[in-house]
Every structure is written in C-alpha cells, then in structure tokens.
A and B are shown apart, each in its own frame.
Chain A
C-alpha cells in the first residue's frame, strides 16, 4: 500500500498504522474510556440525510468561507494538534505548508514540536495558536507574546482539557512524550525501524513553547493525560478567559464549548469564535458530539460569533451537513494526522485535496455553487 492507493480517510489510517510504532498510532487513533463519543462524532452525521436540488447550473463552485475576518479558500481547516513530529519528522512544517497550498487555516498547538516563529517564517496564510492555560504564568505570558510577535491571526483557548482524559490505549501501550522504550513497546518500535531512524536523525524532538519553563514532555517522559492533569491550572474560570481575551487583543476563540449557556458567555467575554468540540472524543466519553449539538448553538449565537464544528469529519458530505446546519467552518485533527503519518506533506496535501474535490463534487450534486447556498432546507433528520 502506498500513498497513491489512499482514496479516503480509512486508507490513510491504514497506511499510518503501518508506518507508526503502535503506541504512537494508538495515541492518534484512541480516545477516552470506551470511545463511544469518539465513534458518535462521526456516526452522528448518518442521522441526517442530504436532499439535493437539481437543474441549477453548477459549472463552478466557490468553497470559500470567512472566519475570524480571514477569507479561506476551503470551508475546513487543520485543527491544532500536539506532538506532530512524532508522527512524521517534518511535523508542523509539513502540515503548515500543505495548509498554505490550499489557502486554509493552520492551527499550531502550545504542545507543537515546531515553534510559532518558524511556522510564521514558513507560511503566510492564516494561523491559529492553541493556548493551554498553565499554572506557570510566565509560560502563559511567553506563549501569548510569542504568538503575537509571530503575527498569528487567532488565539484559541482550550477549555476542555482541565484534566487529562482517560485514554486507556495510552495506558496499555505506555505512550509518553518523549517516547520511552518499555518492555511492552520495544517490539513495536523495533518493527518500525524507519520511524526510529527518522526520529533519531531528523532533528531533536522539542516542545519549543514549553521547554524553557517545564521539563515534562521533553526531558521528562509524561503521558499527555498526565501533562494536562499536572501542568494546567484547574482553577481556570471565565475571568481568566476574559483577561486572556483582552490581553491578546485580536480574534479570540474558546475551543471545546458544548453548552448553549457557555456559548452565550463566550460572546459576553468578547470571543469572536467558538469551536464546538469534545476534543475528538479524547476527554469526556459519553459527551455529546459536536454535530448533534451544533444546531442549538448556531441558533443561540450564530449571528454573534463564528461557530466552528470540530470533530468527526471523514468526508466532504459530513462537512456539507455541518455547514448546512450553520457552522461557518469545519475543523479536524485526525482529518490530516493519519495522512501526515502516512506520507508527510505529500500525504496531507493529498488528503486536503481529496476533501476539497469531494466537497466540490458534493456541492454540485446538491445544486449549490457557494457555501451560503447551503441551509437546513437541504437536510432531513431521520
């Protein structure tokens, strides 16, 4: 199996599984507890059907959308995800370049393995920084200032990782950052020698936004769940969010809002967007899927800030359904992470290109030529 045989999400997933040592694959692939929310994030799309309109003359389709005041050529973007150089040695460089090629937004995590400064020198398309509220206020200020200096367009405060989710696959495989050889994982690392060679020879593994402040994740092995639980400030509240919002002074979003009440408060504290998200099913299992919750949130605050649906997308039609319900854009992590692991930048480009051509085709089949043509009239729930 090679990249040219990858026609869809599950093909990329299969190829990624071949390339990655199993603890790393399962870190991407896994979720919290019994992974019911993770599965629901995608299966929720099947509870509603698309109803096309015909004979509308659809020679050319415009997929562009505007979020946070930036026009993107695509109605979806790459969510920020941690530790990308573990998945492919180019990590964020590969994803950022691919996002630039399609003129869509690229999210950089505070737990990124490439610095905001470097990303900013590589790409000039819209960029989001994903902020984690640490106990160490010096670290928080440093992240904010560096992202500002690097001319990032959007600051997204993560609000659904106040403590680490129970990712049982990581407990079983012994996944940590940086990766640690255990008796259990030795075999899987040994069977993927290419990954090992690349990891050891293509530049040191770093967490450039954090390592001057904390040792965990770089020189001290930690699981991501443990990192969230011990490093992040669990007393974070709406006042903190409001202060960060004004300290940042630009487009500011909360990532991980699920209730209508919280969505309204996000408006009140000055957010210009929210990501309706359950962190890819990796935090609170049994929580509602973004798509299931989307309509209520759009109805409540859709005219006051940009509502972004994040999680579960594996197909262009999934995005079409979320956009029809009123999301301004769609976002995802696994959406491109398997492709990154499978083949670096070329993989991410192929994945983004496939979603794009699916969307173009699906829009034509729906009888729509621009994103604003999509509405709830296109949908019927079963």
Chain B
C-alpha cells in the first residue's frame, strides 16, 4: 500500500498505522475516556441526509470561501495540531507547503516543532496560528507579536484545553514527548526502524516556539498532558481573550466554543470567527459534537461571525452537510495527520486533492454552483 492507493480516511489511517510506532499512532487516533464523543463527531453527520436538486446546470462549481479575511480555494483547511515532527520528519513544513499548493489554511500550533518565522519563509499561503494562554504572560505576548511580524492571516485562541483530557490510550501506551523508550513501547519502536531513523537523523525535537521561554517539553521528558497542566493558565477568562484580540488587531477566532451563550460573547468581544469544536473528542468525553450543535450556533450568530466546524470531518459530504447547517468552512486534524504520517507533504496533498474532488463532485450531484447554495433546506434529519 502506498500513498497513491489512499482513497479515503481509512486508507490514510491504515497506512499511518503501518508507519508509526504504536504510542504515536494512538496519540493521534485516540480520544478521551470511552471515546464516545470522538465517534459521535463523525456519526452525527449520518443523522441527516442530503437532498439534491437535479437539472441545475451547475458546470464547474466554485468551491471558494472567505475566512480570516482571506479567500481560500476550498471550504476545508488544516486544523492546528501539535508536534507534527512526530509524524513525519518534515513536520509542519510539509503541511504548510501542501496547504499553500491547494490555497487553503495551514494552522500552526503553539506546540509546533518549527518556528513561526521558519514557516513564514516556507509558505506565503494562507496561515493561522493557534495560541494557548500561558501562565507566563510574556510567552503569550511574544507569540502574538511574532505572528504579526511573520504576517499570519489569523489567530485562534484555544479555550477547551483548560486542563488536559483523560486520554487513556496514552496512559497505556506510555506516550510522552519527546518519545521515550519504555519497556512497554520498545517493541513498537523497534518494529518501525524507518520512523526511528528519520526521527534521529533529523533536527532535534523541540517545541520551537516556546523553547527560549520554557525548558518544559523540550529537554525534559514530559508528556503533552503534563505540559498542558503546568503551562496553560486554568484561570483564563473572557478578559484574557479580549486582551489577545486587542494586541493582535487582525482576524481572530476562539476555538472550542460549543454553547450559544459563549458564541454570543465571542461576538461581543470582537471575534471575527468561532471554531465550533470539542478538540476532536480528546477533551471532555460526553460533550456534544460540533455538527449536532452547529445549527443552533449559526442561528444565533451566523450573520455576525464566520462559523468554522472543526471535528469529525472525513468526507466531502460531511463538509457539504456542515456548510448547509451554517458553517462557512470546516477544518480537520486527525484526517490530515494520518495523511502526513503516511506520506509527508505528498500525503497531505493527496488528502487535499481527494477532498477537493469529493466536494466538487458532490456539489455537482447536489445541483449547487456556489457554496452559498447549500442551505438548511438541503438537509433532512431522520428524527
């Protein structure tokens, strides 16, 4: 099996599983507690059906949309995800280049293994940065200012990781960053010599954007979970978000909003977008899926901010359903990380090509020429 054989999510996932040591694969693949929310994020799309209109003379549909003040060529982009060097030696550079090629957003995590400045050199395509508020405010300020200088288009503040989720697969596999050889994991690393070679032969693993500010997570063997619990500020509140918006002064999203009340508050403090997300089912298990909640939020604030659905997307039809229910764009993390693990930049490009083809084909089958032709009347819910 190689990257050209990957036709869908499951194929990328299978190929990634072959290439990655088990603790790393399960770090991507897992959710919190019993993983019901993780599953629901995708299953929710099956509770409604698409209703096509025929003989609509669609021609070649226009898939472009505008979020974070920038027009992108397709309504799906790469969610910010931490530590991409674990999945492929090119890490964030591969993702950023692939996104640029498809003219859609690459998103950089605070916990990336590449610097803001390096990515700005690598790609002039659409870029956003995902910010965590650290207990040490100077770290937060420094990140904002550097993104501004590096000309990122947008900033998103993640608010659903106030404490780390209970990811039991990581407890069992002994996942840590940087990866640590434990008795449990030694076989899984030894069975993926190519990964180990790439990991050791390339530049040192570090949390590049924060390495000068904190030793944690770089020199010390520390799990992401510990990093989150030690560095992020659990006292974070709306004033902090407002402060970041002012300091940034460009298009801004809060990532991890689920309640209508919070969506309204986000509008009030000046957000230009919200990302409806439960962090890929990795935080609060039992919480609502983005698709289940999107219509409510869109009804409340859809005319005031851009709504981005993040979570559960595996197919072009999922994107179509999300847009019909009120999203302006979608983003995905797991799907793209599997493609990155499976084939680096080429893998991500293949995934984005698949998605573009699916979205385009499905638009034609739906009889829609523009994304705005997708509205709630095109969905029928089964219950």
Contact = CB atoms under 8 A, between A and B. Distances in A.
Contact of A365 (B163, B254, B261): B163
Interface stretch (B22-30, B280-288, B349-357, B371-379): B280-288
Interface residues of B, number: 39
Contacts of B288: 49-51, 380
A358 interface: yes
B376 to A, nearest CB: 18
Interface in A15-46: 45-46
B241 interface: yes
Interface in B168-184: 168, 171-172
A365 B165 contact: yes
A366 interface: yes
A49 B164 CA distance: 19
A51 B286 CA distance: 9
B33 interface: yes
B162 interface: yes
B235 A51 contact: no
Nearest to A48: B286
Contact of A55 (B163, B171, B172, B238): B238
Contacts of B171: 7
B140 interface: no
Contacts of A365: 160, 162-163, 165, 283-284, 287
Contact of B284 (A7, A58, A317): A317
A8 interface: yes
Interface in A344-382: 358, 360-362, 364-366, 377, 380, 382
A57 B259 contact: no
Interface in A293-328: 315, 317-318, 320-321
Contacts of A240: none
A200 interface: no
Interface string A53-81: 11111110000000000000000000000
A42 to B, nearest CB: 10
A317 B37 CA distance: 11
A317 B33 contact: yes
Contacts of A317: 33, 284-286
Given A49-B292, A55-B236, A58-B234, A366 B284 contact: yes
B147 interface: no
Contact of B293 (A54, A321, A358, A380): A380
Interface residues of A, number: 31
Contacts of B168: 7-8
A53 B166 CA distance: 19
A7 B237 contact: no
B262 interface: yes
B83 interface: no
Contacts of B160: 52, 54, 365
Given A50-B286, A51-B259, A55-B238, A361 B292 contact: no
A370 to B, nearest CB: 15
Contact of B166 (A5, A318, A361, A366): A361
B236 A57 contact: yes
Contacts of A321: 286
Contacts of A56: 237
A360 B257 CA distance: 20
A360 to B, nearest CB: 8
B235 A57 contact: yes
Contacts of A382: 292
B34 interface: yes
Contacts of B283: 365
Interface string B32-46: 011011001000000
Interface in B289-304: 289, 292-293
A55 B235 CA distance: 8
Nearest to A60: B234
A53 B261 contact: yes
A49 B163 contact: no
- Central interface residue in A7, A49, A315, A382, by most chain B CB within 10 Å: A49
A55 B292 contact: no
Contact of B287 (A8, A50, A59): A50
A59 B159 contact: no
Given A8-B34, A57-B234, A365-B160, 16 more contacts: A49-B289, A50-B287, A51-B288, A52-B284, A52-B287, A54-B159, A54-B262, A55-B159, A55-B237, A55-B240, A315-B285, A321-B286, A361-B163, A361-B166, A365-B165, A377-B259
26 contacts: A45-B286, A46-B36, A49-B292, A52-B259, A54-B160, A54-B257, A54-B258, A54-B262, A55-B236, A55-B240, A55-B262, A57-B235, A59-B234, A315-B34, A317-B285, A360-B163, A361-B165, A362-B286, A364-B162, A365-B160, A365-B163, A365-B165, A365-B284, A365-B287, A366-B284, A377-B259
Interface of A: 5, 7-8, 45-46, 49-59, 315, 317-318, 320-321, 358, 360-362, 364-366, 377, 380, 382
